[in-house]
A and B are shown apart, each in its own frame.
Chain A
Amino acid sequence: MGSDGSEHRAPRRHRLLESGLVFLRVGPAIGLLILIVILAQLSPAFATTRNIGNLLAQSAVICVLAIGQLLVIVTRGIDLSVGSTLALGTVTGALAVTAGLPTPIVILVMLVTGAAVGAVNGIFYVYGRLPHPFIITLATLSVARGLALWLSDGQPIQGMPDQIRVIGGEILLGWLPVSTIVVAAIALGALLLTTRMVWGRWIYAVGGNPEAALRIGIPVGATLVSVYVLSGLMAGVGALLTAGRTGAGAPTFGSLAELDAIAAVIIGGASFLGGRGHVGNAIVGALMIGVIRNGMNLLNVDSFFQPMVIGVVIVLAVEADVIRNRLEQRFRLMQALS
């Protein structure tokens, strides 16, 4: 009887733990849903097509930056430069417009600007043998912002071609921004990369155990450089969307956007210790930030409260990570005993 009981108990606790871990994985999405339901109850303006269109348009840039940041954070890194890079991209793009270059080239200039800053980050970090990417991306945060100010003479540069304005600013059917379609396409590409491609597998392997990755023959250096290039490229896309929405390039755009991107990734449950994080959850994190800001505006809450609420959400996300680590510890113990 006694042995029977324990044999039955072990698998049930096992299943309970397993479902707890699954719950934590979808936790951010559930949190977002609950938030949306509550806001829809509190404010009749929230769940209108028009507001949803606004919300999506406002969140597009954070979503794109969060996808790039996620890849960096999965490899145990951080990219502080994306906000400044975004600004620099809008300025180089605007200068390309002023120079009379055709629209596809203007778009290319913005994307290449972003990827180039990312390449500088990655190359200095890996081949300059820096202990951590914090410093180099802090440096490029400063340099890119300064460069944007210098190139633009500190002034916004007005005038973007119609196609770019459509990409960044048009809202279809009253609720579907074109920028959201861009975000969705990029998210699909990032999903393909992270779940289906050898490249993506290497990104997660390098994040999970860099030494083992090196020993096993994965090109660790190139993989690391690639995530910074992708993060920079996402800042370039952010520049395109921002320039399109505002019709201008400006050296002040995107300030502190890197912190939103990092917050989105963490709220989405990625681990700062590397190896763990999902594209879908990073977007959920970005939308969470967008929904909180949008909802609080609609409820006429003093805008000074927004950063505080977002801070609280970050703490909750990190606590969820702590709980997850505890559960995993229990799970391992149970494996050893069963």
Chain B
Amino acid sequence: MTATPVIAVTDAVKRFGGVVALDHVSLAVHAGEVLALLGDNGAGKSTLIKCLAGVHRLDAGTIELDGVSVRIDSPATAQALGIETVYQDLALFDNLDPAANFYAGREIAGPAWLPRWLRLLRPGEMRTATNAVLDDLRVSLPSAGVTVGLMSGGQRQAVAVARAAAFASRIVILDEPTAALGARESRSVLDLIVRLRDQGKAVIVISHALDHVIEVANRAVVMRRGRVVGEEVPTRENQPRIVSLIVGGEA
């Protein structure tokens, strides 16, 4: 990999009181790549992605985006830098349709001389743009104006991922995207992740489902007790080794 990574984390340290949640963690993700972040509960995966998403701040270490060092000190900064995160709770508005969900908090509206809250929405523009993203990712939903609350778990996950993809110029971070889904809906979300990768996005996926990781991820980074303990190309053959890295037993 000679190209500059989209994101490179070097020697990241995060402490919560006396607990070291991240202990000199380094990793890099390239465009068009899916990186799986593996590890048991408490390994530091969530802390790491929350630092990238601007929820937590690093105590030490650097983050470079496309080779440029940045400080990510709030969720808004992360979003402005092109990093979008889909948490397990999805942060969807069940009472709104997909287009309104896509643009919640960043509505397309005018005229520009009015204060933002008084501007009039441009629902047509928002719907067209939303449908274009959904079509691109081949997400199929019930009829257009239906609220997200009427959708299945998989469809909701797809809307949340597509929303992240639409606004992420650099990286999409997915926290357990298939955890709450049945086999068929997991299938379509995995297909969606592959399409994100094929569009040239860098994707970081946290998952406990090794089968799914093997299917979609190019690399798997394993964390244990706040450290990166190994990196593997996730394949069926490597599966036992990955498992032993996760649980910390001797291979």
Contact = CB atoms under 8 A, between A and B. Distances in A.
Contact of B105 (A204, A216, A276, A332): A216
Contact of A197 (B95, B96, B118, B150): B118
Contact of A201 (B91, B94, B107, B149): B107
A207 B94 CA distance: 10
A191 B59 CA distance: 49
A288 B151 CA distance: 33
A205 B121 CA distance: 14
Given A197-B117, A197-B118, A332-B151, A218 B95 contact: no
A102 B220 CA distance: 76
Interface string A310-338: 00000000000000000010011101100
Nearest to B151: A335
A222 to B, nearest CB: 8
A337 to B, nearest CB: 8
Contacts of A276: 95
A275 B150 CA distance: 14
A207 B95 contact: yes
Contact of A196 (B89, B96, B120, B142): B120
Interface stretch (B24-32, B62-70, B130-138, B152-160): B152-160
B185 interface: yes
Nearest to A21: B150
A104 interface: no
Contact of B155 (A197, A204, A219, A335): A335
Given A198-B109, A218-B104, A335-B152, A275 B91 contact: no
Nearest to A15: B143
A276 B97 CA distance: 12
Contacts of A332: 150-152
Contacts of A219: 117
A211 B91 contact: yes
Given A216-B91, A332-B150, A336-B185, A198 B104 contact: no
A209 B116 CA distance: 21
SS class of chain A's interface: helix, strand, loop or mixed?
Answer: helix
B116 A328 contact: no
A292 B3 CA distance: 74
A25 B142 CA distance: 18
B142 A335 contact: yes
Nearest to A200: B121
Nearest to A211: B91
Interface size class of A (residues with CB under 8 A): 20 to 34
A116 B32 CA distance: 55
A207 B76 CA distance: 22
A197 B104 contact: no
Contacts of A20: none
B13 to A, nearest CB: 25
Interface in B75-92: 75-76, 89, 91-92
A205 B153 contact: no
B119 A275 contact: no
Contacts of A204: 93, 95-96, 100
A189 to B, nearest CB: 12
A124 interface: no
B18 interface: no
B149 A328 contact: yes
B182 interface: yes
A198 B121 contact: yes
Nearest to A207: B95
A9 interface: no
Interface string B103-125: 01111010000001111110000
B107 A215 contact: no
B100 A198 contact: no
Contacts of B109: 197-198
A217 B105 CA distance: 6
B185 A218 contact: no
B55 to A, nearest CB: 9
A219 B182 CA distance: 36
A199 to B, nearest CB: 4
Contacts of A331: 142, 150
A331 B152 CA distance: 8
Given A196-B121, A207-B95, A208-B93, A201 B104 contact: yes
A213 interface: yes
Interface of B: 75-76, 89, 91-96, 100, 104-107, 109, 116-121, 142-143, 149-155, 182, 185
Given A201-B121, A216-B104, 8 more contacts: A14-B142, A199-B117, A199-B118, A211-B91, A215-B75, A217-B76, A275-B95, A335-B142
5 closest residue pairs by CB, A with B: A275-B95, A336-B152, A212-B91, A216-B105, A335-B152
23 contacts: A21-B150, A196-B120, A197-B109, A197-B117, A197-B118, A197-B119, A197-B121, A198-B107, A198-B118, A199-B117, A204-B93, A205-B96, A208-B95, A208-B96, A209-B91, A212-B104, A215-B91, A216-B106, A218-B105, A276-B95, A335-B152, A336-B153, A336-B182
